[in-house]
Amino acid sequence: MDSLSSQLGGLSLRTTSSTIPSTPAVSSPRMLGYLLGKTEKHACVLHWSSGKPFTMKIASIPATFEAGKLYPFQGPADKTVFSDISEDSKKYYYCRGDISFTETGYRRRVLRGLLLGSRIRDHEQECSTVTSRSPLVISMPSRRGRIDLAWFRTEAGELFKVVVDNVKRDADSKKMTLFCTAATLLPSGLLKNSRLIHEETDQRTPIVTSVLDDFVMERRPIVTYSLLNRIYGDRGFASSTPPRDRTLVQIRKSKGDGIMLNVEQSQAVRYHTSDVYPALVIEAPPGSGKTLTAAAMALQRVGGLQLFLSTANVPVYNMAMALSDIDYGDLKIVHLESKEAAEKNRSPFAFELLTASDRALISLLELQLERARSLEKRELIDKIRQVKDDALYRSGGCDVIFGTVDKILMKLISPGGNRPCPIQRQLETAVTRIVIDEASQLTEAALNAIHLCFPTAKLVLIGDSKQLPPFRSEEGDVASKLAARSALDVLKRRSNVPVITLRQVYRAAPSAMAHYSDVFYGGALVSGKPESSRVKLSSIIKVATSCTFMEVVGSKAESFGTSRQNDKEIAALVWTINKLRLAGYDHESVMVISYYAAQQKLAKNSIPPAYEVLTVDSAQGREKDIVIVLTTVDTEAAPDFLKSPLRCNVAVSRHKEALIVLGHAALCKIEPWNMVLDNKYFTHVSLS
């Protein structure tokens, strides 16, 4: 082990692969596993110790045991006995928030549960799916290279081989569809929508899972339990004593104009600079100035390195843009962008520390990279990294780093290149503050990974617990209970850290935000935007309010795979887009949000390509002057995701000036839409 690995406790990113048809050995001690599936003779189980499922012969398993749940198992791989999970174990793993854990309990129960939950989520993300049995069609995550033959295993552990006749790739979804012929007998349980494990895939362990695995396996020690005791230990830590200084914080724009933060924003900045508490939660409803507050935090000289992170690129970019609009003096700032993010929006801090000659050289290398052959690309990427590293060496380090959670963890653990990275050295020793935006979408597993890697840094989570939880987190789902609860809720649940709520909002005028303030926030939000600033839709679609429900008469939703489409709703969208465009509101001012992925794709193909058409999940953290929401359904028997208050809140709070909801009349009878679309908030019109 080299000196750097030694300092990191051997923390590393690992790649695992399986041979055909290998079966991991199972030791005799009693183990807790997640049952993927079973037949009369075999069971397939995920355990926290491995990213690959265990397939084993069953000696005993009750017929009532169901896939998708936790069960203890014991014995060798050729004679495994399963038993029911005890009530105590259910509490430890399913109801973590109701139990106080000791430091030993954290290591043995909490940390292992987080790792198991992360492995389950990774497995679900990497799984292939049968879209048709006859003819055999399989959808799977995209892989490079040619595929002629493939081995798959069902979640019940049954192995089979296929000949791949044709492959269709979808760049948008990052999926590929295999049109296959069976080369061996297909399992009898293989049905449409069955999930499969691609046996030949080299599985790259996601970074959060890799970090948790290193701490569970004690390759790196847990340095302190100060914050962990507040999260998982007893209640009773003092958390709500505000700083005595009540003066408002003032910052200055880069052009010289001053900005005065409001009372709650100023309080949040003071808590950020204080060393009294190891963590802080900022509840930030839509348009409450959380991005500006984060930028003001970046200006504070707290000593050491500050990290400003999120789970996605857009919130990180927004924080960077907010700071670039402020006079940040001589702060040295770096934005660690991914190539994909940089192609969409180049951050003002992507090249902050580079000289003009550095930038010219990088531009030349990037041009060469676009034309390079695959064997040459690695060398060019290393040269670009070296130019940036040289600039960091010359600067002596930086004060603020922007990046995604995954990017920062990767930079700490696996920086790449042929020499030590200066940013990595700072990450190891100098981080004192970590601010995470859109923290409702940060998983509990990622929260622990970040804290364990930066144990002495103060954590500030900014988000809205009334908006969407982490991606693929579902109520009642085992993996979600184990690892994917919202970090915002996890940090708040024992009342052991201070919570500041921003109530003043600036995105929309009072009449344009009353519906979501009343329905989702109990009327507590106060708009700081004057009514005169809002768009008057009366001159466009003959209505007098900022919020309009357009009933699409005769609309009908049709199934499209596992999603749905509605042609009449799309026609109404096209009509509305054209009306707005003629009135001077084009793609720069208008955003479309769709509840269904198939409807989103149809909308993209039906209106000019410059328009943003997002799903509700991807719209969180975004805003536009005018927002059009596509609901698609044509019946009161709506799916749970349409009834979700959190998802509805996101969908109806992205607009700055006007909101248009398209849908069937049945939508007005579905909770919480029946309250949101009330006549006191929305004007109702019909389109036939």
Give me the residue spans of the domains in the chain.
31-123, 127-198, 210-504, 510-686
Distance (Å, whole) CA 105 – CA 112: 10
pLDDT of residue 18 exceeding 70? no
Burial class from Cβ neighbours inside 10 Å (0-12, 13-18, 19+) for residue 687 reads middle
CATH code linked to domain 127-198: 2.40.10
Asked whether this chain's domains 127-198 and 510-686 adopt the same fold, the reply is no
Q: Which CATH superfamily is domain 210-504 in?
A: P-loop containing nucleotide triphosphate hydrolases (3.40.50.300)
Q: What is the average pLDDT value for the chain, to the nearest integer? A: 87
pTM of the predicted model, to two decimals? 0.88
Distance (Å, whole) CA 652 – CA 627: 8
Note whether 666 and 557 are within 8 A (CB).
Answer: no
Pairing status of strand 195-198 against strand 128-132: antiparallel
Distance (Å, whole) CA 3 – CA 177: 45
Per-residue pLDDT tens digits for 128-178: 999 999 999 999 998 888 889 999 999 998 999 999 999 999 887 789 999
> How far is C-alpha 327 from the geometric centre of its chain's CA atoms?
31
CA atoms lying within 13 Å on the CB side of residue 54: 26
Distance (Å, whole) CA 629 – CA 652: 8
Say how many C-beta atoms besides its own lie within 10 A of residue 324's C-beta. Answer: 16
Find the DSSP H helices in 396-439.
405-413, 422-429
Cα 510 to Cα 337, 505, 521, 582, 620, distances in angstroms:
37, 9, 14, 27, 21
Query: At a CB cut-off of 8 Å and minimum separation 6, what does 179 contact?
Result: 135, 136, 137, 164, 165, 166, 167, 168
Distance (Å, whole) CA 18 – CA 198: 10
Query: What type of residue sits at position 666?
Result: A
Nearest by Cα to 646 from 603, 678, 676, 612: 676
**Which pLDDT does position 375 carry in this prediction?**
72
Name which CATH class applies to 510-686.
alpha beta
Can you tell me the mean pLDDT for 94-116?
A: 92
Distance (Å, whole) CA 377 – CA 41: 49
Find the DSSP H helices in 127-185.
none
3 state DSSP class of 579: helix
Distance (Å, whole) CA 294 – CA 308: 8
Distance (Å, whole) CA 648 – CA 640: 11
Burial class from Cβ neighbours inside 10 Å (0-12, 13-18, 19+) for residue 483 reads buried
Query: What angle in degrees, to the nearest 10, is found between the helix axes of 263-273 and 290-298?
Result: 40
3 state DSSP class of 317: helix
Per-residue pLDDT tens digits for 176-223: 999 999 999 999 889 999 999 998 766 789 999 999 999 999 999 999
pLDDT of residue 2 exceeding 60? no
Distance (Å, whole) CA 99 – CA 117: 18
Distance (Å, whole) CA 256 – CA 130: 60
**Which pLDDT does position 128 carry in this prediction?**
94
Per-residue pLDDT tens digits for 377-413: 778 877 777 777 777 666 667 899 999 999 999 989 8
